[in-house]
Amino acid sequence: MSTRQKIEQAVKTAGAVIRDDGEGKITGHHGEELEIGRVRPREAKREIERYGEPEVIDGRHLHVAPDADAVAFWLRGRKVFPYNNVELLIDGEQAFPAMLAAISDAKRSIVLESYIFASDATGKKFLDALVDRAASDVSVRVMVDGVGSWATDPDFWRPLLEAGGRVEYYQPLQPWRRRWGIWRRNHRKLLVVDDVVGFIGGINIGDDYAPLSWGGKAWHDVHARVEGPVVRELVRLFNRGWRNMTGERWNGSLAHPQRRGGTTLQVLESALTRRYSVRRAYLRAIRKARRTIRICNSYFIPDHHFRHALRDAARRGVKVQLLVAGKTDILAVRYASRALYARLMNAGIEIYEWTERVLHAKTAVVDGEWCTIGSYNIDARSLLHNLEANIACVDKRLGAAMDQTFERDIAKSSRIDRATWHRRPLTEKLVESFFFALRVLL
């Protein structure tokens, strides 16, 4: 029996999932990796069963065996985690109340990582919630980016620090500060409470993302609330960054993982040693697509290989739809992105521009089954310089929800007309070409 057959049989009999690294690994019920290599499937099953019986949650027996064929088809390259629950959160209107509720329920620990944590009304709501938990002996650690949060008032953090919380700036701009830097940025948006519930996506902490009812600008973005074994991986991701900044090790105190659903998840990070993991996941999904590819990305300047994969998909009959920013906070990126429209539309790709408010989302759904949500922009900065974090999963339920969200969004957007696109003024074309030439610097 081949290694792949052993893996597939172990997956189907023991509820494991695949890490395809050429040798063969499986992941047990609670996220622990187990080598199988030459091990017989019944021996792998016996190892997995050491981690206990499935839990009963809300009267349901959650022994939902992952779809081994779908997992093996879509997810490769990095370890994956079964038995998770994923909830889609659209805009700050849904995400912020859910995040604040989770923070207020914290009993043991909170870790929060954000590119921007503004010292405005929305930032104050989150700060107050964190201070309240820190004052109740909950471990609170916050990591923000030195560029993204450069405008945050230094005194803003004083109540949290006095309550016992911790705040670290990733590569602050001041040369006299430890581990300062300019070019490399931490663009992740993570929140994990008690190692049990996590949030990941593209939403920063600030009034730009807050709903209109809060007095915010209601930028359009997407977050996800996750529960299950994958949450421990989000904490490990945070802890690696924390260790780089402080030298402290925290993984030894992680809570035991619990199963919360039937979704298999993969954490994709863009970091120094895993620079291309998100891009590879995208390309793999695009190349395997048979029906639809729907990408929503606020800063869309794909490299040659990414563009080639999209054009190939469209030419083999896949319906490829792109939702990009019509209104943006970085005009140069919009110009650079528009320089690619003609080449993409010539291959049959549909392009829509979101014009209601600023678009900031970074999501994709392929064939209504493979989904990704996170902070990763399809541009050179996310690929080469930023620390990013996405989740990818195989989930038809979530895929259907993301398809519906995408369809609602394009109904409110303007489709770029291929027939008239070339008629725009020459000055616009020259500006677009200029910024496209500088795309690596944007």
Q: Residue holding tokens 């079964």?
A: 82
- pLDDT > 60? residue 97: yes
CB 234 within 8 A of CB 227: no
Catalytic residue among 25, 29, 79, 187: 187
* 360 noted as active-site residue: yes
The tens digit of pLDDT for each residue in 410-432 reads 999 999 999 999 999 999 999 99
- pLDDT > 90? residue 183: no
Given this model, what pLDDT does residue 407 score?
A: 97
The candidate with the shortest Cα–Cα distance to 413, out of 292, 298, 282, is 298
CB 31 within 8 A of CB 278: no
Catalytic residue among 6, 29, 189, 223: 189
Other beta carbons within 10 Å of 425: 8
C-alpha separations of 43 from 48, 269, 348, 436 in Å: 9, 32, 50, 55
pTM metric for this prediction:
0.85
Catalytic residue among 194, 207, 395, 409: 194
Catalytic residue among 67, 91, 367, 409: 367
Residue 87, SS3? Answer: strand
Rounded Cα–Cα distance for residues 139 and 165 (Å) = 7
Given this model, what pLDDT does residue 40 score?
A: 38
The tens digit of pLDDT for each residue in 52-62 reads 444 444 443 34
Given this model, what pLDDT does residue 441 score?
A: 86
Work out the pLDDT band at 180, boundaries 50, 70, 90. Answer: low
- pLDDT > 50? residue 14: no
CB 198 within 8 A of CB 227: yes
* 367 noted as active-site residue: yes
* Burial state string for 230-248 with b = 16 or more CB within 10 A and e = fewer than 16: bbbbbbebbbebbebeeee
- pLDDT > 80? residue 95: yes
Rounded Cα–Cα distance for residues 392 and 86 (Å) = 11
Work out the pLDDT band at 105, boundaries 50, 70, 90. Answer: very high
The candidate with the shortest Cα–Cα distance to 28, out of 5, 55, 9, 49, is 49
Q: Which of 212-216, 273-277, 317-321, 405-409 has the weakest average pLDDT?
A: 273-277
* 396 noted as active-site residue: no
**Pairing of the two strands 350-354 and 388-394:** unpaired
Q: How many CA atoms lie within 13 A of 233 on its CB side?
A: 25
Given this model, what pLDDT does residue 328 score?
A: 93
Work out the pLDDT band at 353, boundaries 50, 70, 90. Answer: very high
CB 344 within 8 A of CB 235: no
DSSP letter at 416 equals P
| Count of residues making up the chain | 442
The tens digit of pLDDT for each residue in 379-393 reads 999 998 899 999 999
Tell me how many helices (H) and strands (E) the chain has. 15, 20
Given this model, what pLDDT does residue 5 score?
A: 56
Which domains are delineated in the chain? Answer: 3-53 (no CATH), 86-262 (3.30.870.10), 264-441 (3.30.870.10)
Query: Between these two residues, 164 and 24, which has the higher pLDDT value?
Result: 164
- pLDDT > 60? residue 63: no
Given this model, what pLDDT does residue 136 score?
A: 96
**266 beta partners:** 80, 392
* 256 noted as active-site residue: no
Catalytic residue among 20, 29, 360, 409: 360
Given this model, what pLDDT does residue 69 score?
A: 65
Given this model, what pLDDT does residue 175 score?
A: 61
| Mean pLDDT for the chain overall | 84
Work out the pLDDT band at 178, boundaries 50, 70, 90. Answer: low
The candidate with the shortest Cα–Cα distance to 102, out of 133, 71, 57, is 133
* 217 noted as active-site residue: no
Please state, for a pLDDT cut of 70, what percent of the chain lies above it.
80
CB 72 within 8 A of CB 8: yes
The tens digit of pLDDT for each residue in 121-156 reads 999 999 999 999 999 999 999 999 999 998 999 899
List Cβ neighbours of 186 (8 Å cut-off, separation of 6 or more). 113, 115, 143, 144, 145, 148, 170, 171, 241, 386, 387
Helix ranges (H only) for 296-370 are 304-315, 331-338, 341-345
* 208 noted as active-site residue: no
